[in-house]
Amino acid sequence: MADHAAGGKGLRSALSTFDGSLRFLLLSSFLIPLGSFMVLPFMSVFLHERLDMGLGTVGVVLAVASLVQFSGGIFGGALADRIGLRRTMLWALIIRTAGFVGLLLALRWPPLAVGALILTCCGAALYLPANKAYLVHGVDDERRPVFLSAGNAALNAGMAVGPVVAGPFVLSSPGWLFVAVTALFVLVTAGHARLPDLKAGQEPGPEPGAGARGLLAGVAVLPFAANALAFYLYFHFQHFLAVYAVERASSAFYSLVLLLCFTLVIVVQPLASGLIRRMPYATALTVGFTGLAAGLAVLAVGTRPALLAGGTLITLGDIVLFLKNDLEALRRSRRSDAVVFGQQRLAAGLGACASGVLGGQLYRLTGHAGNDGWFWLLAAVQCLLLPAALLAFRDRTPHCHPHDDDEGALKPHDTDGRVPGR
């Protein structure tokens, strides 16, 4: 109870320090996913029913788009390192706005839809590392988790509201919907043009011609691997719950489960951010992956209460994992914040992609066996075995960095090569 009260007090104290620029950035962190999720969750239906694409083609398009949106973040971080945070966000929003214009034009010329969708995902990939880095620029270690979790809460709020707003119109009036989303992005882009300019960080970007090796230079290996593993396991839930839940309940009940999950992130993560910051890294990994395992196992029951309980446990696990992995990557890396966030997005993309490929085959096999509840149980077993293997491998690997220990509290940056207060 005391931790909860302290978390609420710390959250209010941190948010009270937000100036006009950061308040606008938080508002944008809500409006951008609001506009995006008025369209993107319905793209499979739109491409198949409105543009007559085969479901096999739709699946390939969405897989490529997801990989671009997540893994492309590493290029967004590198770009922010070179040209600055504000300019990167501006270019990202211009690209994404062009993508929504392309979706509008695709109503007349359907082949444009694929390129337009990829364009919106490229914009998202470029935007998020710069957005996160701008949000925590100059913030001390103690308040950094609160700032990050406030941004995550705004993001999840937009993701929750977008589908509810757009659901009635996406098939009946997609043209007006795309016009509205495009107008929203134009306004948000204009607002970003008025933000003060900030550099991405104190460290220089990769040398010209360094390529992928430069982009991954200085990567915090354990948080990178743990983030990829967390997204791989979490996306079993994200990718395949719809098929499982709609069959046993209804599409409306599936929407209720998602709304519950978004609400938990919005409410719980900012309040728990201080506790997560202080938690030793190995403890956070244990708590997070155990939550995922318990939630996935509960889903195997297949009843409506089990779907709600499973979604709750999975979300509580990912609240700990996703925030702690980012914080630990920032603590261990000497690279700028934007590059670190980009590297973590690459890990997320690799994990989500692997989940789609391997998880899809596993779901198909368990379905053919006549009991797809086994899919969730096998995923739960992976949540226990794979993190243990990761930590065991890490314990046998010599530490090349003097501060790669499991101490959970963020150290002052002057102890690991970063400028204090950055």
Cα–Cα distance for residue pair 339/73, rounded to 1 Å:
9
Most distant CA pair in the chain, distance? 59
**pLDDT (0 to 100) of residue 301:** 94
Does 275 lie in the same domain as 145?
Answer: no
**pLDDT (0 to 100) of residue 422:** 31
Does 369 lie in the same domain as 276?
Answer: yes
Instruction: Compute the radius of gyration of the chain from its Cα atoms.
Output: 21
**pLDDT (0 to 100) of residue 406:** 40
- 13 inside domain: yes
- 117 inside domain: yes
- If you average pLDDT over residues 168-174, what whole number do you get? 69
Does 267 lie in the same domain as 292?
Answer: yes
Query: Which residue, of 201, 224, 242, is where some domain finishes?
Result: 201
Q: What is the DSSP string of 317-367?
A: HHHHHHHHHHHHHHHH--S-HHHHHHHHHHHHHHHHHHIIIIIHHHHHHHH
**pLDDT (0 to 100) of residue 207:** 42
User: Whose CA is closest to 235, among 351, 153, 128?
Assistant: 351
How many helical (H) and strand (E) elements, i.e. helices and strands, does the chain have?
A: 17, 0
Does 135 lie in the same domain as 242?
Answer: no
User: Whose CA is closest to 47, among 115, 140, 94, 148?
Assistant: 115
- 349 inside domain: yes
- 404 inside domain: no
CATH classification at residue 181: 1.20.1250.20
In tens, the pLDDT along 110-136 reads: 778 889 989 999 999 999 889 988 888
Cα–Cα distance for residue pair 131/128, rounded to 1 Å:
5
Does 89 lie in the same domain as 13?
Answer: yes
In tens, the pLDDT along 333-379 reads: 888 888 898 899 899 888 888 887 788 788 878 877 778 789 999 99
Does 100 lie in the same domain as 13?
Answer: yes
In tens, the pLDDT along 251-308 reads: 678 778 888 998 898 889 888 988 999 999 999 999 999 999 999 999 999 899 999 9
**pLDDT (0 to 100) of residue 186:** 95
- 414 inside domain: no
| Residue 311: other Cβ atoms inside 10 A | 24
**pLDDT (0 to 100) of residue 378:** 94
Q: What are the Cα distances from residue 272, in Å, to 22, 59, 199, 281?
A: 21, 37, 30, 15
In tens, the pLDDT along 78-112 reads: 898 889 999 999 999 999 999 999 988 988 887 78
In tens, the pLDDT along 178-234 reads: 899 999 999 999 999 988 886 544 444 444 444 444 777 888 899 999 999 999 999
- What DSSP state is assigned to residue 209? T
Does 366 lie in the same domain as 302?
Answer: yes
- If you average pLDDT over residues 233-259, what whole number do you get? 81
In tens, the pLDDT along 32-84 reads: 998 888 877 667 667 767 677 775 677 677 778 878 888 888 888 889 888 99
Does 264 lie in the same domain as 158?
Answer: no
Residues near 169 by beta carbon (within 8 Å), at least 6 away in sequence: 176, 177
N-terminal to C-terminal alpha carbon distance within the chain? 32
pLDDT at 409 over 70: no
- 115 inside domain: yes
**pLDDT (0 to 100) of residue 359:** 81
C-beta of residue 29 within 8 angstroms of C-beta of residue 131: yes
Domain that holds residue 143: 1-201
| Residue 4: other Cβ atoms inside 10 A | 12
Does 94 lie in the same domain as 43?
Answer: yes
C-beta of residue 206 within 8 angstroms of C-beta of residue 78: yes
**pLDDT (0 to 100) of residue 395:** 54
321 confidence band (pLDDT: 50, 70, 90) = very high
pLDDT at 398 over 80: no
Cα–Cα distance for residue pair 259/164, rounded to 1 Å:
10
Query: Which residue, of 201, 229, 253, is where some domain finishes?
Result: 201
Query: Which residue, of 201, 233, 258, is where some domain finishes?
Result: 201
Does 251 lie in the same domain as 121?
Answer: no
Cα–Cα distance for residue pair 261/241, rounded to 1 Å:
12
**pLDDT (0 to 100) of residue 143:** 79
User: Whose CA is closest to 126, among 62, 189, 57, 209?
Assistant: 189
Helix axes 73-83, 85-105, angle to 10 degrees: 130
CATH classification at residue 342: 1.20.1250
Report the half-sphere exposure of 374 (CA within 13 A, side-chain side).
11
Q: What are the Cα distances from residue 59, in Å, to 38, 55, 244?
A: 20, 6, 18
Q: What is the DSSP string of 101-121?
A: HHHHHTTTSTTHHHHHHHHHH
13 confidence band (pLDDT: 50, 70, 90) = low
- 409 inside domain: no
Does 243 lie in the same domain as 186?
Answer: no
C-beta of residue 330 within 8 angstroms of C-beta of residue 340: yes
pLDDT at 166 over 50: yes
Total number of domains in the chain: 2
Least confident of 30-34, 318-322, 342-346, 406-410: 406-410
C-alpha 266, offset from chain centre: 13
- If you average pLDDT over residues 136-143, what whole number do you get? 79
**pLDDT (0 to 100) of residue 418:** 35
- 271 inside domain: yes
Does 193 lie in the same domain as 221?
Answer: no
141 confidence band (pLDDT: 50, 70, 90) = confident
- If you average pLDDT over residues 235-251, what whole number do you get? 80
